[in-house]
Amino acid sequence: MPSLTCGGRAGPRGGASTARGEHPGRGRAVRLDVDPSLRFLLRPDRRDGPVDVRAADTDTWGHVVESVGVPLTEVGRLVVDGAPVAASAPVTEAVLRVAPVARPQATATTPPRFLLDVHLGGLVRRMRLLGLDAAYRPEADDPELVRIAAAEGRVLLTRDRGLLRRRSLPQGALVRGSATDDQLDDVLDRFAPPLTPWTRCTACGGVLAVVGANEVAEEVRAGTARTYADFARCLSCGHVYWHGAHAARIEPVVAHARDVVARRLGASG
Ligand SMILES: [Zn+2]
């Protein structure tokens, strides 16, 4: 019965938390009223109502929110008795209301800059297609991703909650959805970024410069050079693009993306 033997000494916690919380029998009794839109982050048996936990006297509200599985990147206002409290404030025996981050969410730079983790390779190409500044460094480990995000003012997009808990990460977001379409909708709805389709290289994220057909004649087939009028070259990797090559497939993606952003901006205005 290992779960019942931890009363005497302050030994390591067992694998499963108990129903009484993270500090059984000690500390302060606190209740979290987590917004329904964030409850998918909670343990399944905690999703139907308020979450009761016991917190150590030295814990902050931020510690407690993270301890139940909600990254602070996903959290907006924290409110106790109708008054906002900081995540860094020490806990009190009270009910904490946990609201989701407001949408559209402001970012450190305008337009926003993003950095995507290794599992979001499909999303990064879609974002670049829409002209978003989306960096992708699949070779980077977690500390390197955090360093790049901080140095370049980028929002780190990930499906990994652990990555979002790193203290030195200035801004991150947990991407909802496992399908690329859903992930893109979530990012567009969350940040409502300005879209400039056909301005970035989907391969490397570099900026495209418009070039004349005569400048790319040696790089594209003669038929292509005669058929398409609009060519662009990536200033970073040199890849040549021509408008129309995949337009029938891509234009609905662009139209849908514009709708998602417009809906969010309309809803918030
Ligand atoms: Zn490129």
Tens digit of each residue's pLDDT (9 = 90 or more) over 175-218: 999 999 999 999 999 999 999 999 999 999 999 999 988 888 77
Is the pLDDT reported for residue 154 higher than 70?
yes
Give the tokens for residue 54. Answer: 């016991």
CB contact at 8 A, 79 and 34: no
Question: Higher model confidence: residue 218 or residue 82?
Answer: 82
50 C-alpha to center of ligand 1: Å? 49
- Over 60: is that where the pLDDT of 21 sits? no
Answer with the residue of higher pLDDT: 118 or 219. Answer: 118
Q: Which residues of 12-32 are buried (b: 16+ CB within 10 A; e: fewer)?
A: eeeeebeeebbbbeebbebeb
pTM of the complete model: 0.86
Q: How many whole angstroms from 22 Cα to the centroid of ligand 1?
A: 49
pLDDT over 90 at 244, yes or no? no
What are the C-alpha distances in Å from 134 to residues 115, 139, 180, 219? Answer: 6, 15, 15, 27
Per-residue pLDDT band at 25 (split at 50, 70, 90): low
Residue 233 alpha carbon to ligand 1 centre in Å = 8
Going from the Cα of 125 to the center of ligand 1, the distance in angstroms, rounded, reads 11
Q: What is the mean pLDDT of residues 246-259?
A: 89
Residue 261 confidence (pLDDT): 98
The residue that leads in pLDDT, 221 or 181, is 181
| pLDDT tens string 94-127 | 999 999 999 999 999 999 999 999 999 999 999 9
44 CA distance to ligand 1 centroid (A)?
A: 44
Q: How many angstroms does the Cα of residue 82 sit away from the middle of ligand 1?
A: 50
What are the beta bridge partners of residue 200? 207
